[in-house]
Amino acid sequence: MEEIKINDNVFNKSKVPHSQLTEEQNLLIELKERFKAFHLCDECKQPNTGYDWCQSCNAARFKLNFKNWSSGNNAIDEFIQKAQLDAKRYRDVLEWIEYDRFEDVKYLTKGGFGTTYKAIWKDGDICSWDSTENKWKRGIFNEDHTIKVALKSMHNLQDITTEFLREFDSHVVTSGKNGGMIRCYGITKNPKTKNFMMVMSFVEIGGLRYHLDKIFNLLDWKQKLTILKDIANGLNENHDDDTLLYNIHNAYITDLGLCQLANIALHIDNKEINEVLPYVAPEVLKGEKYTQESSIYGFGVIAYEVCTGLPPYHNMGHDEFLSIEICKGLRPTSDYKIPRLIFELIEKCWDTDPLKRPKIAELRKVLGDLCNYNLEISKQFEEVDKFNDKITCLTSPGMILYSKNSQAIYTSRFLDFDNLPEPKNADDD
């Protein structure tokens, strides 16, 4: 019998809108997609929910083990247990990790809000279930099955509330689940200080700012755009669920997590938010609440930093005078030229009117289009590169040279400036 074929027009007309599907039909579609992506669970023969991961089977294993551990804090226990039961893939798992499972714990840095250590987690993170050995496979992505982690504690964080954990989950854990730079593995407790500590991804010292200082001259425009696209994708993870992205610069430049913890606690207590002045939107300097649009402003400042290699306002003191000038429309400047299509996007991001700033979807689309190159953007790259090659501060191989004002402060601190002018753009006069 001859095979019956349906042309694309007939097929498309026969499709039912997703909103009209029944719950059972949606479930069948989900099961089919999961089977195609992850195959069947060896035990229950249902489609896996992630790579080598079955939520229902692994949730049962986690539940059986609940009686064998406790943090001593009910809120933490419930938080971790829920994460384990809900985990659809290995990146979703959180654990209570006894402090003696860490070795080679070394002090990294101490700021106004907490202390960060690096350590080796001897067990490594849970990756999948080994049905042959009847135990969890751990650290399979590392040759010695261990993993380097950062232990982050806030000063006097000897008790953690349910509200703190809810905020922590929204701002930090969710981003790590979705492939962001920072992943949270769980929680531990220092037996000496009695402080709880977040166990998080360890990012080599310095982060983005460190690498811009060292290799900026070696980056081409496509690499810079890729960095910005990756940052925008991380921003999108936070915006999808309508959470606010506090301290956007910290997620990519400085402490990578500790400042977020401080901000979460302060936000709950309705206290001031600590920040790095150059990245703060003018409306926030005036005392308004953080919004998604405030995060877009911060992204614009970071984008300028990535494009020029220079820290924002590096030649000025970061004080009340700078906050006044920012409200009056001052934005980062340098002799380094940026392609017009990129600079226009940056200018939109730091518009004084939050409603005129681009949405994250627009950011991602524009950056994606620019990454794909076309004749116009290629021409702009060539023009600015010819100009920038003549700038003397960029003559050192790899490294970018600049002077920094002694009062230019790129660590988080409380900002509380009174009587600032109403924000406006510089060209509003």
Q: What is the CATH number of the domain that holds 234?
A: 1.10.510.10
One domain, residues 127 and 161: yes
Question: According to the 3-state scheme, what is the secondary structure of the chain?
Answer: CCCCCCCHHHHHHHCCCHHHCCHHHHHHHHHHHHHHHHCECCCCCCECCECCECHHHHHHHHHHHHHHCCCCCHHHHHHHHHHHHHCCCHHHCCEECCHHHEEEEEEEEECCCEEEEEEEECCCCEEEEECCCCEEEECCCCCCCCEEEEEEEECCCCCCCHHHHHHHHHHHHHHHHCCCCCCEEEEEECCCCCCEEEEEECCCCCHHHHHHHHHHHHCCHHHHHHHHHHHHHHHHHHHHCCCCCCCHHHHCCCCCCHHHHHHHHHHHCCCCCEECHHHCCHHHHCCCCCCHHHHHHHHHHHHHHHHHCCCCCCCCCCCHHHHHHHHCCCCCCCCCCCCHHHHHHHHHHCCCCHHHCCCHHHHHHHHHHHHCCCHHHHHHHHHHHHHHCCCHHHCCCCCCCCCCCCCCCCCCEECCCCCCCCCCCHHHC
Q: What is the pLDDT of residue 168?
A: 67
In-domain check, residue 421: no
Is 343 part of a structural domain of the chain?
A: yes
Name the domain boundary from 201, 234, 260: 201
Domain boundary (201, 232, 257) is at 201
Q: Quick: pLDDT tens for 160-205.
A: 777 777 766 765 555 545 455 567 899 999 999 888 888 988 865 4
Q: What digits encode the pLDDT tens for the residues 298-310? A: 899 999 999 999 9
| Phi, psi of 108, rounded to the nearest 5 degrees | -110, -60
* Number of Cβ atoms within 10 Å of the Cβ of 393: 14
Average pLDDT over the chain, rounded to whole? 79
Provide the CATH number for the domain around residue 158: 3.30.200.20
The answer to whether residues 181 and 212 belong to one domain is: no
Per-residue pLDDT of 24-57, as tens digits, reads 777 777 788 888 888 999 999 999 999 899 999 9
Total domain count for the chain? 2
Say whether both 322 and 407 belong to one domain. yes
Q: Which domain holds residue 301?
A: 208-415
Low-confidence ranges of the chain (pLDDT < 70): 1-21, 110-114, 140-145, 154-159, 167-168, 170-182, 203-207, 234-274, 392-399, 412, 428-429
Q: For residue 159, tell me if it sits in a domain.
A: yes
CA distance linking residue 246 with residue 291, whole number of Å: 9
The pLDDT value recorded for residue 258 is 38
Question: What letter does residue 248 receive in the DSSP assignment?
Answer: G
pLDDT value at residue 12: 52
Domain-ending residue, one of 201, 229, 247 = 201
Predicted pLDDT of residue 13? 47
Among 223, 263, 226, 219, which residue's Cα sits nearest to residue 111? 263
pLDDT of 269 reads: 45
Residues 319 and 384 in one domain: yes
The reported pTM is 0.59
In 301-422, DSSP assigns E strands to 413-414
Give yes or no: residues 162 and 216 share one domain: no
Burial of 135 (C-beta count, 10 Å sphere; 0-12/13-18/19+): exposed
Structure confidence at residue 274 (pLDDT)? 56
Residues 93, 132 within the same domain: yes
Taking the CB of residue 300, how many other CB atoms lie within 10 A of it?
24
Q: Is residue 31 part of a domain?
A: no
Residue 385 lies in a domain: yes
- What six digits make up the tokens of 365? 């689309």
Q: Are strands 135-138 and 102-110 parallel, antiparallel or unpaired?
A: unpaired
Specify whether 197 is located in the same domain as 219: no
Are residues 232 and 321 both part of a single domain?
yes
Looking at the fold, whether 265 and 403 belong to one and the same domain comes out as: yes
Identify whether 94 is part of a domain.
Answer: yes
State whether 229 and 140 are in the same domain.
no
If you ran DSSP here, which 8-state letter would residue 328 be given? T
